[in-house]
Amino acid sequence: MESRSLQELVINLKGIGEKTSALFEKCGIKTCNDLCRYYPRAYDTYDKVVRACDVKESMVNAVKLTIIGNVTKRRVRNLSIIAFEAADETGRIKMTYFNAPYLASSIKSGTTHIFRGIIRKKGSFFTMDQPKMYKVDEYAALVGKMQPIYPLVKGLKNSQVTKAMSECFKNIGVLEDYLPESIKEKHGFMSYHEAVLNIHFPKNNESLENARRRLAYDEFFLFVLRLRLLKKNQEEFENSYRMIEVSETKRLLEQLPYKLTNAQQKAYEDIQNDLSGDTVMNRLIQGDVGSGKTILAFLALLTAAGNGYQGALMAPTEVLAMQHYESFKELIEKYHITTLKPVLLTGALSAKDKKEAQSLIKSGEVNCIIGTNALIQAKVDYKNLALVVTDEQHRFGVRQRETFKGKGLNTHVLAMSATPIPRTLAIILYGDLSISVINEMPVGRLPIKNCVVGPDYRPTAYKFIKNQVEAGRQAYVICPMIEEGENVEAENVTDYTEKLREALPPNIRVQMLNGKMKPKEKDEIMDAFLRRDIDVLVSTTVIEVGINVPNATVIMIENANRFGLSQLHQLRGRVGRGKEQSYCIFINTSETDEAKKRLDIMNRSNDGFEIAEEDLKQRGPGDLFGIRQSGDLNFRLGDIYHDSDLVKESAIDADMILSQDSELKSPQYSVLRDLLSTKSANLVDFATL
Ligand code: ADP
Ligand code: MG
């Protein structure tokens, strides 16, 4: 009964027509079930009404005022404007409405309303543009309530989502709870239904936080349970591809211009032991940006090839896959490696090239397959795949890794990640993997020098970039956007590239790169940057992961305040990869203390772990909506750092349940079991898996 109403299409809800339903679909919402799980990104609280003399500038205020004097109506081109003044005994405010003819009848001199909107000061006057108007008792009923603010697409209004959500809750009955009573009791959790209801329509701050914690716990709990069940299935698979250390890896290690760091050496030995051991390898290499993970992947793939097997390396972006392919070819050439035969397979290849790559893979003529998630498509057949490597594992999730692994039979798995997670959490969240940590940087690296500055520092920064380029180095400039956006005061690569070309001498080659470009174009630009045919690359965050151009020594991040700290850390990791001193310039365009404090962390530390920890200390529970960590084990409501206690609790509970009932056969687990056994489990999001 319940599940049927959850599967009801939103178009059948009262008040939703074709048009709205199409907009909902753009947000990934088709059914009531999808809708209930479309969580707000923030909340708006209706504050108490203040007097005109107590309003706060630049903030949302609700003021009870009486309209005084004349109400003027004008037209300016196709804009109709209504303007008037409203006052109480302590002061008055100028009001302006645009294109709001429907308000004309309620705006009458002498009538009293609650006006709610942002207060601005123009000259000696306070003003409000487009304030929301309420009847006095209507507003009184709202005070203290929290209004959900949803992520929207163009054309979709917040009020439409809110209304649909209310309708939805009227129809769906009580949502079934899959957590066993004993666990709910242990943690004092509210029911699943209450939690979902309170995430959308919180009674107050406290019930919101309780709801969030319950749902965050669910995410972790289901994640851990799935991991445990997965691990049980793969546990102790016999190693059917026993490998020995091959002469080419030994020779390469002797001939490389550097010695592996102790941590790299240890990880290398872990890998070699796994590959030659009794059971199949399932290993995670965890190491901060720039710690030198790629060479370990290369050595592992070379070992597989030397033993007569195929290995494959999957990267999260075209740009990175291409770069790995190029750098592998370079190593092969430079060190006269004969056993490794690489091929590139990405979605960006022409149909003909793809076919050709696929046939080489199938016949076994190539043994080192590098690419994007094109590698795991059904039509790609491998001859004897014995090792799969995922670079930047946190960008993929367990499911994709499993599919990748499934391209062979009991394949060895090597996952690499730069996500800084404390060991206690890593053991839980990567529960199916053994972990090698690379906790030191190659010798001779100079720590990156940082500065956080305001926009007026730009000319100085350009001069600095110019000097670095003239000294033979290269630079990145990162902008948050591709093109000029509506109402958004953030730099975009398109205009910025032009500005920068003007600000720098004409012999400095400035080029832009963004994620919307055709893959081929992106490749060409990255290639040119690598060959030093471009001096300054103005880019969006497409270069965030993995890219390695050791000659680049400056990265300037525009509107740095708009990025999450872990993302800033990844971006900064694009420099400081060679012997030269590198620099990171964070441009802070926000004037808030909060932005300054957050960026100060970046200024003080180059250590991913420390940054994650500091970031956590500064964020309150209220900040958990909105700012999401980019990529890293992204749960929808749970935050692995902030909710680390829940992560640990959920693991304890999952283990306890499984130790008593390893197949969840008891009736108290029936809903849970059903949920875990449906692949497209729709109650809870398994995106992270
Ligand atoms: P990441 O861990 O971020 O993937 P990379 O593997 O791309 O880092 O390595 C960054 C740079 O460091 C590369 O240019 C690589 O050649 C170099 N590198 C790796 N290991 C060492 C080492 N032990 N000593 C010096 N340089 C190294
Ligand atoms: Mg890397």
Q: Average pLDDT of 48-59?
A: 90
Digit-coded pLDDT (tens) for 412-435: 999 998 877 778 888 888 887 899
Cα–Cα distance between 473 and 554 in angstroms, integer? Answer: 8
What confidence category does residue 3 fall into, taking pLDDT thresholds of 50, 70 and 90? Answer: low
Instruction: Among 169-178, 272-281, 303-312, 389-398, name the one with the lowest average pLDDT.
Output: 389-398
Tell the residue nearest (CA) to atom 25 of ligand 1.
442
Q: CB of 461 within 8 A of CB of 554?
A: no
Ligand 1 centre from 634 Cα, in Å? Answer: 27
Ligand 2 centre from 533 Cα, in Å? Answer: 23
Cβ within 8 Å of residue 430, ≥6 positions away: 284, 415
* Same-domain check for residues 564 and 583: yes
Position 300 pLDDT exceeds 80: yes
Q: Average pLDDT of 1-22?
A: 82
Ligand sitting nearest the alpha carbon of 549: 1
Position 629 pLDDT exceeds 70: no
Ligand 1 pocket test: which of 254, 569, 577 has the largest number of ligand atoms within 8 Å of its C-beta?
577
Ligand 2 centre from 314 Cα, in Å? Answer: 11
Which pLDDT score is estimated for 482? 74
Residue 538: inside a domain, yes or no? yes
Backbone angles phi, psi at 146, to 5 degrees: -105, 130
Tell the residue nearest (CA) to atom 20 of ligand 1.
292
Residue 392: inside a domain, yes or no? yes
Residue 219: inside a domain, yes or no? no
Ligand 1 centre from 292 Cα, in Å? Answer: 3
Backbone angles phi, psi at 530, to 5 degrees: -65, -40
Ligand 1 pocket test: which of 548, 553, 570, 582 has the largest number of ligand atoms within 8 Å of its C-beta?
548
The structure tokens listed for 183 are 């666990």
Q: CB of 288 within 8 A of CB of 316?
A: no
Ligand 1 atom closest to 573 (CA) = 3
* Same-domain check for residues 473 and 429: no
pLDDT > 70: what percent of the chain? 93
Residue 224: inside a domain, yes or no? no
Ligand 1 atom closest to 287 (CA) = 2
* Same-domain check for residues 61 and 9: no
| Residue given tokens 């302590």 in the structure block | 90
Q: CB of 535 within 8 A of CB of 563?
A: no
Q: Average pLDDT of 394-420?
A: 86
Cα–Cα distance between 282 and 305 in angstroms, integer? Answer: 19
Ligand 1 centre from 602 Cα, in Å? Answer: 22
Cα–Cα distance between 415 and 328 in angstroms, integer? Answer: 18
Ligand 2 centre from 115 Cα, in Å? Answer: 54
* Same-domain check for residues 423 and 281: yes
Ligand 2 centre from 222 Cα, in Å? Answer: 30
Ligand 1 atom closest to 264 (CA) = 23
DSSP state string for 398-433 = HHHHHHHHTTSSS-EEEEEE-----HHHHHHHTTTS
Mean confidence (pLDDT) of the chain: 88
The structure tokens listed for 170 are 């009227």
Ligand 1 pocket test: which of 295, 419, 549, 571 has the largest number of ligand atoms within 8 Å of its C-beta?
295
Which pLDDT score is estimated for 290? 87
Position 265 pLDDT exceeds 50: yes
Cα 550 to Cα 99, 547, 578, distances in angstroms: 55, 9, 5
Ligand 1 atom closest to 296 (CA) = 6
Tell the residue nearest (CA) to atom 5 of ligand 1.
292
Cα–Cα distance between 652 and 177 in angstroms, integer? Answer: 20
Ligand 2 centre from 315 Cα, in Å? Answer: 9
Cβ within 8 Å of residue 597, ≥6 positions away: 618
Q: CB of 562 within 8 A of CB of 490?
A: yes
Q: What residues flank ion ligand 2 with Cβ within 5 A?
A: 546
Tell the residue nearest (CA) to atom 26 of ligand 1.
442
Cα–Cα distance between 552 and 562 in angstroms, integer? Answer: 23
End position of a domain, from candidates 438, 467, 497? 438
Q: What angle do CA 603, 605, 610 make, to 5 degrees?
A: 135
Instruction: Among 13-17, 66-70, 126-130, 393-397, name the one with the lowest average pLDDT.
Output: 393-397
The structure tokens listed for 22 are 């199409």
pTM over 0.85: no
Alpha helices by DSSP H, listed for 343-387, are 351-363
Gyration radius (Cα) of the chain, Å:
29
Ligand 1 centre from 260 Cα, in Å? Answer: 9
* Same-domain check for residues 496 and 562: yes
Ligand 1 atom closest to 548 (CA) = 7
Ramachandran assignment for 9, one of left (phi > 0), alpha (psi -120 to 50 degrees), beta (any other): beta
Ligand 1 centre from 587 Cα, in Å? Answer: 27
How many other CB atoms sit within 10 Å of the CB of residue 188? 9
What is the maximum span of the chain, computed from C-alpha positions, in angstroms?
A: 92
Which pLDDT score is estimated for 235? 63
Ligand sitting nearest the alpha carbon of 290: 1
Q: Average pLDDT of 357-363?
A: 96
Residue 261: inside a domain, yes or no? yes
Instruction: Among 231-245, 246-260, 494-508, 592-606, name the one with the lowest average pLDDT.
Output: 231-245
Q: Domain range holding 21?
A: 4-44+154-203
Residue 433: inside a domain, yes or no? yes
Which pLDDT score is estimated for 227? 83
Q: What angle do CA 272, 276, 280 make, to 5 degrees?
A: 100
Ligand 1 centre from 87 Cα, in Å? Answer: 66
Ligand 1 atom closest to 444 (CA) = 25
What confidence category does residue 71 fall into, taking pLDDT thresholds of 50, 70 and 90? Answer: very high
Position 166 pLDDT exceeds 90: yes
Ligand 1 centre from 291 Cα, in Å? Answer: 6
Ramachandran assignment for 362, one of left (phi > 0), alpha (psi -120 to 50 degrees), beta (any other): alpha
Ligand sitting nearest the alpha carbon of 264: 1
Ligand 1 atom closest to 295 (CA) = 6
Ligand 1 atom closest to 294 (CA) = 6
* Same-domain check for residues 337 and 474: no
* Same-domain check for residues 530 and 566: yes
Ligand 1 atom closest to 391 (CA) = 4
End position of a domain, from candidates 386, 419, 438? 438
Tell the residue nearest (CA) to atom 18 of ligand 1.
292
Ligand 2 centre from 323 Cα, in Å? Answer: 10
Ligand 1 pocket test: which of 256, 258, 298, 575 has the largest number of ligand atoms within 8 Å of its C-beta?
258
The CATH number linked to 175 is 1.10.150
* Same-domain check for residues 401 and 456: no
The CATH number linked to 82 is 2.40.50.140
Strand order in the sheet with 449-453: 449-453, 583-587, 552-557, 474-478, 536-539, 510-513
* Same-domain check for residues 563 and 470: yes
Residue 145: inside a domain, yes or no? no
Tell the residue nearest (CA) to atom 23 of ligand 1.
260
Number of domains composing the chain: 4
Ligand sitting nearest the alpha carbon of 261: 1
Q: CB of 270 within 8 A of CB of 264?
A: no
Q: Average pLDDT of 475-504?
A: 83
* Same-domain check for residues 81 and 196: no
Residue 345: inside a domain, yes or no? yes
Tell the residue nearest (CA) to atom 4 of ligand 1.
293
Ligand 2 centre from 574 Cα, in Å? Answer: 10
Q: Is 605 exposed, middle or buried (0-12, 13-18, 19+ CB in 10 A)?
A: middle
Tell the residue nearest (CA) to atom 15 of ligand 1.
292
Ligand 1 centre from 213 Cα, in Å? Answer: 40
* Same-domain check for residues 29 and 57: no
Cα–Cα distance between 650 and 582 in angstroms, integer? Answer: 42
* Same-domain check for residues 427 and 324: yes
Digit-coded pLDDT (tens) for 176-231: 898 989 999 999 999 999 999 999 999 888 999 999 999 999 999 998 888 888 77
Q: CB of 433 within 8 A of CB of 270?
A: no
The structure tokens listed for 384 are 């004897």
The CATH number linked to 418 is 3.40.50.300
Helices (H) and strands (E) in the chain, counts: 23, 21
Tell the residue nearest (CA) to atom 19 of ligand 1.
292
Cβ within 8 Å of residue 333, ≥6 positions away: none
Digit-coded pLDDT (tens) for 564-606: 888 899 899 999 988 899 999 999 998 888 889 889 999 999 8
Ligand 1 centre from 578 Cα, in Å? Answer: 8
Digit-coded pLDDT (tens) for 84-118: 999 999 999 999 999 888 888 889 999 999 999 99
Least Cα distance to 163 among 26, 14, 311 occurs for 14
Beta pairing class for 474-478 and 510-513: unpaired
| Ligand 1 pocket, CB under 6 A | 258, 260-261, 264, 287, 289-295, 442, 548, 550, 577
Ligand 1 pocket test: which of 268, 291, 391, 575 has the largest number of ligand atoms within 8 Å of its C-beta?
291
Highest mean pLDDT among 8-17, 202-211, 249-258, 412-421: 249-258
